[in-house]
Chains A and B, each alone.
Chain A
Amino acid sequence: MSEKKPQAAPAKPKSFGWIAEYVDEHSLLAASRKVRDSGYTKTDAYTPFPVHGIDEALGIKPTILPFIVLGAGFTGLFTALILQYWTNAYDYKYIISGKPFASWPANIPVAFELTILFSAFTTFLGMWALNGLPKLSNPLFNSERFDRVTNDRFFLHVDSRDKYFNRESVKDLLAGTKPESLEEVVEDSSPTALPSVIWLGLGFLFCASLVPVAVVLNMRAGNDENPRWHVFFDMDFQPKKKAQQTTTIFADARIARPQVPGTVARGSLVNEDPFYLGFDPTKQASLNAANNIRLVSAADDKAEKPADTAPDTASEKSATTDPVKADEPAKETPAANPPAPTPTPAATPAAAGGPNLPWITEFPLEVDASLIALGKTKFEIYCSVCHGYAGDGDGLVHRRAEQLQQGYWLPPTSVHDPRIQAQPIGNIFYTISNGKGKMAGYGTVLSPKERWAIVSYVRALQRSRNANIEDVPVEMRAKIEEAKKAE
């Protein structure tokens, strides 16, 4: 680097002293000792690698760098400890895994790392600072031969600023050490100022670097009606729609989609399968749809025709969700004929109350002796207290209530009531699940299978009052005959 120079140069280049060149470190060391012994102190040796013994040969004092680094190490250590204490035990306390706020063992790693970090950077920067580097301009670089100092040559320099410096005597002294070459170095006379292009460039870069800062500060400080700039979206904008919003994707513009026909939503089987309901929800849906159409056409026709069925359908619709009395007679209830011979027609029952739903009439599970036995057990546990063991409505609770002449006591309905006998099995299942009038529901305590088991047992009880001896298997008949005789 020869283009820069610290001092303004006069017309005649000023001497910077002599440099002597040697081919090996031994001659350099010998020459150094000689120069030192001659009393020169502003001297230095320049070598391609650190030559051992040169400090003694030139009389160089050891560096204070280690002490500076020691100080930096302690600074790093205390910085880390204070930082960790202040942040986690004072300024921003929070409990994590039950560790204490000031957890010294947990602070060791960071304290260690910061000690090293501070020491290392102090070593690095301190070494350059003590060496007066970077110093890109040096009169020595004016010498062509000096280029070999970083390759294989050793130089000894006696500075012209030395108190005893005398051009001729120094030359003679160095010549006496048999150098490879001997040269007088002159101060650099090239201009010191940086070219204006570089200044312009730097100035431009500086101004340009202020722009983003200014923009950010302006945005932080100022008020703007527009939303802030989103360099990163941070999930603020998501390609999604919320319920009730419109869309162009579907023809009906609704973002909330109806269920795809023939599918069951996760967890909603209990609302889809007659096994859990006692009625057929798809039929129910189509009935509703028919009602809705009637409702719409009724509204349309209102002007011309007087309303005929509109109020009824409205109440019928509400009956599908909560079991309030439907004041309309049951229309073609699907398969209202019970398996047992029914003494009364099926047209009347709904009038007694309860929702009118498309009840199922076939058991949605296999009915066998074990199911009826399970039904008997559960009936006797849960129902018999009110309805009695035979279902006549004369259970213990009922009799006690009669005894006490409880005025508000509503007698449990007998399962042998013709109206109940005529009920489809789905309806009875529904009564057990959700209750009826004064009777509470048992859906929460009995599994669907247990409820169907009770239904099958109720059917068996009902059948037992309407059977004749031919219905009993042949091998069992003798038993019944015997029991009859015993009476």
Chain B
Amino acid sequence: MASISINPREIDNTVELPGQRAPLITGKQTFNSVTEMVCAVAEKPQPMLWYILFGFSSLTALMFVSLIGYLILTGVGIWGNMSPVFWAWPIVNFVFWVGIGHAGTLISAILFLFRQNWRTSINRAAEAMTIFAVICAGIYPGIHVGRAWLAFWLLPYPSLNLWMWPQFRSPLLWDVFAVGTYASTSLVFWYMGMVPDIATYRDRSKTPLRRFIYGILSLGWTGSSRHWLRYEKAYTILAALCAPLVLSVHTVVSFDFAVSQLPGWHTTIFPPYFVAGAIFSGFAMVVTLLVPVRAIYKLENLITLRHLENMNKIILATGSLVGLAYATEFFIAWYSKNQYEGFTFMNRAFGPYWWAYWIMVSCNVISPQLFWFKSLRVSPIWMVVICIFVNIGMWFERFVITVTSLSRDFLPSSWGYFNPTMYDGLMFFGSFGVFMTLFLLFCRFLPIIAISEIKGIMSIEAHREAHDKARASGGSHHH
């Protein structure tokens, strides 16, 4: 059981040494030590903190579920949604969560296709986070439709009662398909990736019950080479499918706005701007979660500082993209000489919601710029603080887009000011309870790091190292 204990502070793989690849994982790891380290998360008794967090978040989730019950029995009138702002927080929260849910599949799919081997330490947790975020996201439109028990009307099924079909020319229906496909595909991608690791859990199980459950979940995985070959092929295909899918989801979400005629929504910049924002917020959420996870479960050797630093670099890049998008919107509003666009953007920055706009700008544009400094980029405390600010900013971005545009449409007589109710706030808070509860259960019961993928990368790295050494010493290496 004795995994190699090396003070993670002594080894810093964020240092670039010329002619040398930075190690992807630190400490002298063997296949067994990796297994031990990851399995310890689920096999050892959970730390006190886990129980405290779980108690708190499951109560919060319970509150959320009860409030949904209250909402269904009472009606959406308990929210502050009121003419002219009928979309308000439910849609803001939906876009917020769906955006967060982009990091996982992006890490698993796009970084996989780009052969970014460092993804192996973080992809599993990021994928799990994606699925939990998409669950939180999916709840909001479901309960926002008013009669939530008829939400299945969104699906194109031959109905004997309605005698009608959904409206396929509407982006809202595209959204049903995009988010539905994304949620289900991410789920199978995540689960498929986990099967070999669940088999590891199964084979280490001490109790029959544990062996039985993990046995069912691992589908009888043996690690057969034939299976591995098809598995890897399938994984590559899924990655190739998920890469455009992940880009399409927030594109379609942005169509919900962009296809309408409302000033501030009706712009072609929305798809790339939304996707950049989604990656931005998703990575911020991954960092926010992984920093405490690696500390609590002592996974610093697997989720190294370099992993976090890499993610922070992506946050810096996407944050700058988002800032550029904000600037472009203003530029176009001025350059187009469209008086409505012009008004909308002046109103965003200096109108009644100026405070939301400037929270958004300071959190999303200014705070990620701090990641230019390496000292902040590799400091766990700082990165968590910055990432939390990023997500606050990203929530406000969706708020600004949704509420400022709706509250000031073409008809001044219908202008209004949106006031949320207590239930808006409690339900948004409650969705974090659902998210955290699921994530804590995931840590407790499932492999939070892709064990077999790390071993595969270790093998490749070792091979490459031997190769490099052989070349350096003038000899030739054959495999």
Contact = CB atoms under 8 A, between A and B. Distances in A.
Interface of A: 1, 25, 44-55, 58, 60, 62-63, 65-66, 69, 83-84, 87-88, 91-92, 96-97, 99, 103, 106-107, 109-110, 112-114, 116-117, 119-121, 123-124, 126-128, 130-131, 133-138, 140-141, 147-152, 231-232, 234
Contact of A106 (B165, B168, B181): B168
A116 B181 CA distance: 8
Contact of A119 (B219, B237, B453): B237
Interface residues of B, number: 71
A224 B367 CA distance: 66
B220 A1 contact: yes
B115 interface: no
Contacts of A128: 219
A54 B225 contact: yes
B452 A48 contact: yes
B21 interface: no
B231 interface: yes
Given A69-B237, A234-B147, A152 B248 contact: no
A112 B215 CA distance: 36
Given A44-B224, A137-B220, A147-B204, 18 more contacts: A50-B228, A54-B228, A65-B234, A88-B165, A92-B163, A96-B167, A109-B178, A109-B248, A110-B174, A110-B177, A113-B181, A114-B181, A116-B242, A120-B241, A127-B230, A131-B226, A138-B222, A232-B149
Contact of A147 (B180, B203, B228, B245): B203
Contacts of A134: 216, 219-220
A60 B229 CA distance: 9
A46 B225 contact: yes
Interface string B174-200: 100110110011001100100011011
24 contacts: A49-B456, A52-B459, A55-B225, A66-B233, A66-B237, A87-B166, A109-B171, A109-B255, A112-B244, A116-B242, A120-B181, A120-B189, A120-B238, A124-B189, A124-B238, A131-B224, A133-B219, A138-B220, A138-B222, A150-B203, A151-B204, A152-B30, A152-B455, A232-B149
B225 A96 contact: no
A109 B258 CA distance: 14
B479 interface: yes
B164 A92 contact: yes
B173 interface: yes
Contacts of A103: 169
A103 B171 CA distance: 13
From DSSP, what is the main secondary structure of chain A's interface residues? Answer: helix
From A58, A109, A149, name the one whose CB has the most chain B CB atoms within 10 angstroms: A109
Contacts of A117: 177, 180-181, 184-185
Interface string B207-233: 000011001100111111111111111
A123 B456 CA distance: 22
B252 interface: yes
Contacts of A97: 169
Interface in B293-344: none
B223 to A, nearest CB: 5
Interface in B402-460: 451-453, 455-456, 459-460
B379 to A, nearest CB: 33
Nearest to B186: A120
B220 A136 contact: yes
Given A46-B223, A149-B222, A131 B31 contact: no
A61 to B, nearest CB: 9
A109 B233 contact: no
B201 to A, nearest CB: 8
Given A119-B237, A131-B230, A49 B32 contact: no
A48 B31 contact: yes
Contact of B188 (A46, A124, A232): A124
Contact of B233 (A65, A113, A124, A137): A65
A55 B221 CA distance: 18
Contacts of B165: 87-88, 91-92
A54 B223 CA distance: 12
A148 B203 CA distance: 7
Contacts of A63: 229-230, 233
Nearest to A32: B225
B234 to A, nearest CB: 4
B202 interface: yes
Interface string B451-478: 1110110011000000000000000000
Return the 5 tightest CB-CB contacts between A and B, nearest first: A152-B31, A87-B165, A134-B219, A127-B234, A49-B456
B170 interface: yes
Nearest to A69: B237
Contact of B224 (A46, A88, A119, A141): A46
A58 B227 CA distance: 13
A141 B149 CA distance: 46
B185 A44 contact: no
